[in-house]
Structure 1
Amino acid sequence: MRPSCPLVLLLSLLSLNLVSASPAPVTEDRAVGNLAAFARTYGYVRFFYPSDTAAALDWVKFSISETAAVRDATDDIALRETLRRTFAPVAPQLGLSAAPLAAPLAEPGRVTFWQYAGLNLTTKRGIYSQQRVITGEERGPRSPLFGPATPPDSITKIIGTGLELSMPLALPVGTDNKTADIGSPELEALKARLAALDLTKASPTDWRVRVAGVIAVWTTFQHFHPYLDTIGVKWGDALQPALRRALRDETGADYWATLTELVAQTRDGHGFVDGPRGNLGGIPIRVTEAEDQLVVSAADGDVPFQKGDIIVRLDGVPAAEALRDRERYASGSPHLSRFRALNQFGEGLLGSVARVDILRDGKPQTVNFVRIKDQRGYFFNPIAEFKFPAFAEVRPGIYYVNLSALDAIGLKEKQSQLAEARGVIIDWRFGRTGLGKDAKMIEPDADILPHLISEAINASPMLIPQVTRPDRLGWTFRTSTWPVKPQIPRFKGRVVWINDPSVVSYGETCMAMIADYHLATLVGAPTAGTNGNVNFIELPGGYRVMWTGMDVRRHDNSVFYFKGFVPDYPVSRTIQSIKDGRDEYLEKAIAVIEGGAASTTPNN
């Protein structure tokens, strides 16, 4: 006799509560291997099994509810049978075997399959979308997102040692456009278990929540991240260490670090984990790399640090080693990762004492500083090294424009001066922290570049992945761009653009036009090396992951991901200039216009 629904829910709740507290009855290696096999299967079924039942399932709840039994499988046979029982209610045509499997035969007639134009895991409409399309549908909600609408072949995949998966990627549909799903007591029990889960109470202290987050991130990137193959990321090798760490984590801060380290392996400059991290504080200083040393370049308020202090050790750890450890959690190209690690250098528990060993004018000192609420950010450190004007004539006929302080109205008022200038310096450092709340930011593609061209130019190609198969195979792309048309007045003088690694995303859209059409000379440091509309993964427990959802190229279709736009005139900071309060980036820009600087880098 089937138990009544309330009894099912009660038993499910009791079971879930017990599971969250119980240790694994298997070794850690066994548990990690089991969960890795679950994760791979989960990704294939969630994103590519096209049944109505699978499409309607709450996969976040599924990844929490169903992991305990898989984790506890004692051997390969038990794992295979547990995975089969776990996924059979939603993917009955999923095959699992220790021996090589033949791919299921293609279904005749009208079939449905997944098409992804990027990936949208939110309920909001955006630039990315997906749909289970039906062959032969020319219009309507199940018509193809892109062509050709050819059903993908079935797949066979190795998901673990001695374990292979086979699965159709297309299923037949009836005249009602529905797949022939068969109900079962197992499916009803699964639905009851998922209904009993309250995601608002999901906590990172529950190992299942942590594992679910790792699985969501890893599978999403495995099938949809546009840049993993560009720089040869061994993403498959990242899964088991992240699962192992998630199983060992105890707090939300631990879990945040696990997710952050996983995301950082993509080297995605948009990669970021938002969520509870604990009560953290910092030191109100700006730290800059100069002459292979970490140097205090600015300090805020009455703190015992001075410009030019060389940081030797932080809490007993050599400064370079402490920086490298922070870089493990800062996703991006090497230069962007370092930039962001420096932004919050010295961060730690709020109220804890930071022991900072420094050299001041060659003499060793130790500064003990109680960490306070950190005004510095991951993306930008607002503690400024210089007092930059919004607009200034820095030499006769050479004008300086600070994109962080001058707004679009102010720029328009200065156009006549800029048009007749012998040189214009555009500074895109600092993250625009100096603009007022209601100010309209300068958008270089609309407000500056039109005054540097005599004929229309285009933004670099932006490629949205068109996906029908897993594992980033067989992608095509929808390419888009937009024109920038000339405007008067034309800026007649030489234009120099100052960059640093904070210039990312839209900034690099502008840099592509500037560099590829030779509209300005670049000075400073490389830009971030990441572009493309961002995407998001909402995770249980209050965490959200940001990442890049499309591939953006240069105008010649070459890749700049991980590289950025390298300056024509790179600048290396010196300790003496920091002590003296000199802006070597601006000095170099002026020298370029005045003809006194030699380029050391081939043109972008």
Structure 2
Amino acid sequence: MKKILLVVFLLLFQSSFSKPISETQKLAATCKVWGFLKYYHPNVASGNFDWDEQLFKILPKVEEAKTDMEFSNVLEKWISSLGKVEAYKAEISSEEIDYFDKNFDLSWTQDANFFSKSLSQKLKFIEQNKIQGKQYYVEKGIEFRNEVEYNEFDDKDKNFRLLLLFRFWNYVEYFFPYKYQMDQNWDLTLIEFLPRTINPVSQADYYLSLKEFSAKLNDTHALFGANKLFDIFGRHGISFDAKIIDDKAIVTGFKNESLCKINDIRIGDIITKIEGKSIGDLIKENQKYIEGSNYAAILNNEYPIFYSRTNVSEIEFIRNDKTAKKTINKYEYKDLNINYENKSEKYKFLENNIGYANLAVLTPDDVPAMMEQFKNAKAIIFDIRNYPQGTNFAIAEYLNPEPKNFVKSIDADLSSPGRYIWRKEDTPCGKINPDYYKGDVILLVNEKSISHSEFTAMTLKVAPKTTIIGSQTAGSDGANYRFEIIKGIWTSFTTYGVFYPDKKETQRIGIVPDIEVKPTILGIQQGKDEVLDRAILFAKNGK
């Protein structure tokens, strides 16, 4: 009788402290616990369970839980079913490791607002006795592997929608080195987008929510893709290149010149409206869907602003100070027949004995002959407003009197996912070279300078007498990893971190020019390269 009374008392005591818990709160916590167990629990992280199936089994029980205590009990029983976690004594390493912990925070496992004390203790024990062997779901590098593949992604199935979100969120949570630099806390992003995953108002809104979700990374390397997005934004794009200046789109070049001639599109045309909407309004409407580390990178992305579901669009444009309207053709990518062959000169002399190298086409094999030709040049301009061909280390050998450190990198610590480690040593650039080039070195950069372009600028910047001219770069340095989250749904983001030797960030900030120069509408119309012109002026007078 006393035992029965004790049990009743305990139940009443427990229920008196239980709090209602919303579906969003339950699923956000479940997402975090599911991801934590996936990468920390020895029996899960080693691949002993079909982890998707485990999620599908636990979701109905999570849904049934009405209070925080009931929810905690569901998770506790689930964790117990995964098998015993053996305690171990961590070996004390004599190796000195420099950890990068700005992303690393598992304090949420101790949140008394959602988890019972006993559940928090279980989660803490798992953290302290985490997997010691090889990770089953992720390889050093980073590469996600051994995920269950499905014949198709059923977007009508709530469980599949949750699986997609849970996978996506946890990939970023544990393996995106710049998570701490996002505008919005990643936990809040999960809470914000869960309702649109649980009960999407429409199929279109669901896919748009995923595109927005990806944009929250604030990473120019990030890119979310799904065929359904083409149905929403359209598959037909413009046949010309455009640059956004003062909320107007200025034609700067041609993807296919013959197609542009059909609609009489000319370099310097100022497009002010598309289908009656101003370029500024189109940017405001679509900015939340565009992945970018900074605003310059966002404006450099023509999708979805210039895309449509029809093969024609009415534009309003200005030419010779006259405003007019006309209908232009739009094309699917395959019909643009873009010729990516770049026949530009690899290097040449400009006026006043100034060397110029176009790193978009220059190869490492070209570097010795180029530097021999430029050895007595007054200055050398390296144009990095493009994607270079891996010439940075080869060029640096001619620009430095000795090896120089130019970068500091971090890699994911797979023994404690979410934590990163500073590399002990990054490869320096340059070599012992008393005959190094002693003239001015000028680097040209802009929003098209991304990833390896920015890495190249960092490499060459450490040379004596180097000046960077141009505008903010894309602010996304490090390896870009593209992968399928689930069948037919793919994404990408940066997977290791790149910093300056003093550990100062490059992500989002980009390569900061010493002299800022941005193209103007008038300059484009007059056929000028104002950034290059400014570099030539600097080479002439040193200012």
From 318, 321, 324, give the equivalent of 1:359.
Answer: 318
- Equivalent in the alignment of 1:226: 177
Q: Structure 1 stretch 555-564 or stretch 481-490: which is displaced more?
A: 481-490
The letter of the residue matching 2:458 is A
From 24, 32, 39, give the equivalent of 1:40.
Answer: 32
Q: Is the 8 A contact 2:469 2:517 kept in 1?
A: yes
- Equivalent in the alignment of 2:471: 525
- Equivalent in the alignment of 1:169: 126
- Equivalent in the alignment of 2:3: none
2:372 is equivalent to residue 416 of structure 1: yes
2:423 is equivalent to residue 463 of structure 1: no
Structure 1 residues 46 and 498 mapped into 2: Cα distance closer, same or farther (>3 Å)? same
- Equivalent in the alignment of 1:511: 457
Structure 1 residues 71 and 331 mapped into 2: Cα distance closer, same or farther (>3 Å)? farther
- Equivalent in the alignment of 1:479: 424
CA deviations 1:29-73 (Å, max 9, x no partner) are: 954333222212212222222236874223344445644553565
2:243 is equivalent to residue 288 of structure 1: yes
**Following TM superposition, by how much is the alpha carbon of 1:91 offset from its aligned partner in structure 2, in angstroms?**
6.2
Give unpaired runs (5+ residues) of structure 1.
Answer: 1-28, 94-106, 112-134, 139-143, 179-196, 433-440, 599-604
From 293, 311, 330, give the equivalent of 1:371.
Answer: 330
**Following TM superposition, by how much is the alpha carbon of 1:450 offset from its aligned partner in structure 2, in angstroms?**
0.9
TM-score when normalising by structure 1:
0.70
- Equivalent in the alignment of 2:214: 263
Q: Is the 8 A contact 1:51 1:171 kept in 2?
A: no
Structure 1 residues 68 and 358 mapped into 2: Cα distance closer, same or farther (>3 Å)? farther
Q: Is the 8 A contact 1:465 1:478 kept in 2?
A: no
From 129, 139, 150, give the equivalent of 1:199.
Answer: 150
- Equivalent in the alignment of 2:383: 427
From 379, 392, 403, give the equivalent of 1:444.
Answer: 392
The letter of the residue matching 2:230 is G
- Equivalent in the alignment of 1:89: 81
Structure 1 residues 223 and 343 mapped into 2: Cα distance closer, same or farther (>3 Å)? closer
- Equivalent in the alignment of 1:334: 294
- Equivalent in the alignment of 2:503: 557
Matched residue SS, 2:443:
strand
The letter of the residue matching 1:482 is T
Q: Structure 1 stretch 308-317 or stretch 244-253: which is displaced more?
A: 244-253
CA deviations 1:464-509 (Å, max 9, x no partner) are: 2436657x57x65443301223358633432211111232333333
2:543 is equivalent to residue 586 of structure 1: no
Q: Is the 8 A contact 2:149 2:486 kept in 1?
A: no
Superposed, which structure 2 residues align to 1:201-220 within 5 Å?
201-220=152-171
CA deviations 1:288-341 (Å, max 9, x no partner) are: 133453322224333333222222222333211212344323333224532432
Cα separation, 1, equivalents of 2:354 and 2:36: 59
**Following TM superposition, by how much is the alpha carbon of 1:402 offset from its aligned partner in structure 2, in angstroms?**
1.0
Cα separation, 2, equivalents of 1:352 and 1:34: 45
The letter of the residue matching 1:509 is F
Cα separation, 2, equivalents of 1:374 and 1:586: 31
Q: Is the 8 A contact 1:226 1:548 kept in 2?
A: yes
2:56 is equivalent to residue 56 of structure 1: no
Matched residue SS, 1:392:
strand
Matched residue SS, 2:151:
helix
CA deviations 1:518-538 (Å, max 9, x no partner) are: 452111112222223344554
Cα separation, 2, equivalents of 1:361 and 1:522: 34
Superposed, which structure 2 residues align to 1:7-86 within 5 Å?
30-51=22-43, 55-63=47-55, 66-67=58-59, 69-71=61-63, 76=68, 79-84=71-76, 86=78
| Identical counterparts, % of pairs | 20
**Following TM superposition, by how much is the alpha carbon of 1:568 offset from its aligned partner in structure 2, in angstroms?**
1.4
Structure 1 residues 356 and 371 mapped into 2: Cα distance closer, same or farther (>3 Å)? same
- Equivalent in the alignment of 1:186: none
Cα separation, 2, equivalents of 1:272 and 1:367: 32
Matched residue SS, 2:259:
coil
- Equivalent in the alignment of 1:187: none
Matched residue SS, 2:356:
strand
Matched residue SS, 2:455:
helix
Q: Is the 8 A contact 1:289 1:295 kept in 2?
A: yes
Q: Is the 8 A contact 1:335 1:501 kept in 2?
A: no
Cα separation, 1, equivalents of 2:540 and 2:513: 18
Matched residue SS, 1:281:
coil
Structure 1 residues 172 and 463 mapped into 2: Cα distance closer, same or farther (>3 Å)? closer
Cα separation, 1, equivalents of 2:335 and 2:296: 16
Q: Is the 8 A contact 2:25 2:191 kept in 1?
A: yes
CA deviations 1:554-589 (Å, max 9, x no partner) are: 122222221111111211221111112111121111
Cα separation, 2, equivalents of 1:590 and 1:153: 49
Superposed, which structure 2 residues align to 1:123-162 within 5 Å?
135=90, 157=109, 162=114
From 517, 521, 524, give the equivalent of 1:571.
Answer: 517
Matched residue SS, 1:369:
strand
CA deviations 1:63-110 (Å, max 9, x no partner) are: 4564455356566566445545555422678xxxxxxxxxxxxx76x3
**Following TM superposition, by how much is the alpha carbon of 1:159 offset from its aligned partner in structure 2, in angstroms?**
6.6
Cα separation, 2, equivalents of 1:254 and 1:412: 55
Matched residue SS, 1:43:
helix
